[in-house]
Chains A and B, each alone.
Chain A
């Protein structure tokens, strides 16, 4: 087109190609792209605002004399048992949910009859749709009383393991039950991510394994699981992020009395950061509010780190994946 412009037979002929090579820019275009860009920038501003307001409100908790912080021993002493409780509950949830989620994802992708597989996927997604408050009520109302017998059994038979040292709680509102409720809540996330990756396993790998005489399990172990390993890890990390920040289920289920303990079936459990905020905030005032907001900031940083690692693994996989 452009070569035609100089020796063109008449100016009228050259006119349309010249204008059509550059995009048409109307005022409408400028307004629309400006709006879109503005919305994007607004998100950055909001996030900066979240960080800024939390920081500003948290600073008094860091600078206040340690005697004024609840507990009287400074902010670090206040927040460390909470961090411990948060990590403990989340790790229990992860240990229970990950193998289960991988098995469920395998069942949906490789074992269930193809016709009902999608329906089964919906069923697992329904687990994700249930609001956390409902899980909390269910955990405290149904699961906790039902688990008392199991915890007594654990104390009597496995009491030599520090986790089950007891004395077993009579209400069932223990760290173990809170972890199980969290496991139920993060199961659908890990399952969804794993399922997606398992479905992307190159068909040729699977067929080659089967053609060499592998049984279904050997095919899965040799073709599907190695391919999906990073997907499982990142799904588990996303689940961990959710479990760390989960509030209401823990706040309702767990019977709290502070203190760091590895005893999972007793009455005295460390609280988690999120649950502690939910329980204390309605009555907090003055410096108490600042302390709670500061602990929220700590939680934010922990989940941020976990989620960043998960994203990093997902992105790295995308680059080196053999699937494309």
Chain B
């Protein structure tokens, strides 16, 4: 507070004589676009002399523009306005900087992944394939099966737990569950994979790798996400709806099933879809718990299975002798994975929009 007042007094003494408001200058509206264009031209000319590169051009333009704008504004508008303009430039360019990786990721994956984005990739496995050809049909099947099994285990458990926490939970048990769901949210994915390995080492024997172990690992990661999402949605169901239902003599469990859950189903479904999207791209737990195979397998309870993320990783990290076909398949697998995840995200938004309760 003290700082503020002293600042303000400085400002007051800085103010120009009466009638200052009209006199105090302001940069013209064209100063920002004009300054940007001018710095782009200057930097472009300088770089043209010493060798051009897109990165240097953008960085140089932004820096020159920021400095120039600050100096000009300081001369005309005073230091406070100048700082404000400088921060505006910094904050806006920070957003631009944050978007660059996204664009670069999408560009890299699409341009390298399109090479093998063909029919063979989707209808053949890697059985007996060395070098060219082959595909990831077996990995796509494995990813879908393992994720579906994980969802099958996580959704009922997560949903019922959220119902318990919101509708029934009181006292110590509910508090403990809330706390440990938080703990579970923070489990690193590789640790979940190690848990699955340790569990199935105990159940099946050392060196056990099977698709179901991957599903268990993914469930450990997925359950807390489902609980959190569902809890949030159940909490915003207005209490009046429950009370109205009770007043009509409807028992509590039917109230929950027929009133509370249908009201919030859009949010719950979109939350669950996002949870699936989150785990379907997990690599580490599947790498340690499921491994990889070259052949098609529809049985997650017997032996190794291929999954897209592990397929992409191992094709990239340990390619065969002609490297190129392996790397191409890795990028295409990454592209397919990104497409699946983006579709799931899109689906979640669609669900949330289409099935949202009618607002008054």
Contacts and interface: CB of A to CB of B under 8 A. Distances in A.
B337 interface: yes
B4 A124 contact: no
Contacts of B161: 36, 39-40, 42-43
Contact of A47 (B173, B184, B199): B184
Residue in B8, B90, B91 whose Cβ sees the most chain A Cβ within 10 Å: B91
A135 B309 CA distance: 12
A307 B180 contact: no
Contacts of A136: 313
Contacts of B8: 212
B169 interface: yes
A138 B108 contact: yes
B19 interface: no
Given A138-B109, A247-B283, A248-B313, A37 B94 contact: no
B104 A138 contact: yes
Contacts of A216: 84, 87-88
Interface in B86-127: 87-88, 90-92, 94-95, 97-99, 101-102, 104-105, 108-109, 112
A142 B165 CA distance: 46
Given A134-B281, A138-B109, A292-B194, A307 B341 contact: no
Interface string B316-338: 11000000000000110010011
A184 B105 CA distance: 11
A103 B94 contact: yes
A293 interface: yes
Contacts of A148: none
Interface string B1-27: 000100010000000000000000000
B168 interface: yes
A303 B90 CA distance: 32
Interface in B159-191: 159-161, 163-165, 167-169, 173-174, 176-177, 180-191
A277 B194 contact: yes
A126 B274 CA distance: 12
Nearest to A216: B84
B183 A307 contact: yes
Given A43-B177, A120-B95, A300 B182 contact: no
A282 interface: yes
A49 interface: yes
A324 B198 CA distance: 46
Given A278-B288, A292-B194, A36 B313 contact: no
A111 B112 CA distance: 36
B95 A107 contact: yes
Nearest to A39: B160
Interface residues of A, number: 93
Given A39-B160, A49-B199, A54-B191, A111 B283 contact: no
B142 interface: no
A131 B253 contact: no
Main secondary structure of the interface of A (DSSP, over half): helix
Contact of B91 (A106, A300, A311): A106
B209 to A, nearest CB: 10
A44 to B, nearest CB: 6
A132 interface: yes
Contacts of B43: none
A39 B185 contact: no
Contacts of B165: 40
A206 interface: no
A252 to B, nearest CB: 7
Interface of B: 4, 8, 80-81, 83-84, 87-88, 90-92, 94-95, 97-99, 101-102, 104-105, 108-109, 112, 156-161, 163-165, 167-169, 173-174, 176-177, 180-192, 194-195, 197-199, 201-202, 206-207, 220, 223, 227, 246, 249, 251-254, 256-257, 277, 280-284, 287-288, 291, 309, 312-313, 316-317, 330-331, 334, 337-338, 341-342, 345
Pairs A-B, 5 closest by C-beta atoms = A131-B281, A245-B188, A103-B94, A39-B160, A32-B253
Given A54-B198, A130-B281, 12 more contacts: A26-B251, A32-B256, A40-B174, A50-B195, A123-B102, A127-B101, A133-B309, A133-B337, A137-B109, A247-B283, A252-B317, A274-B284
25 contacts: A29-B252, A32-B257, A38-B160, A39-B156, A40-B164, A40-B165, A50-B220, A54-B198, A57-B198, A103-B91, A104-B94, A127-B102, A132-B282, A133-B281, A134-B109, A137-B108, A141-B331, A216-B88, A241-B186, A248-B283, A296-B188, A299-B188, A303-B188, A307-B183, A307-B185
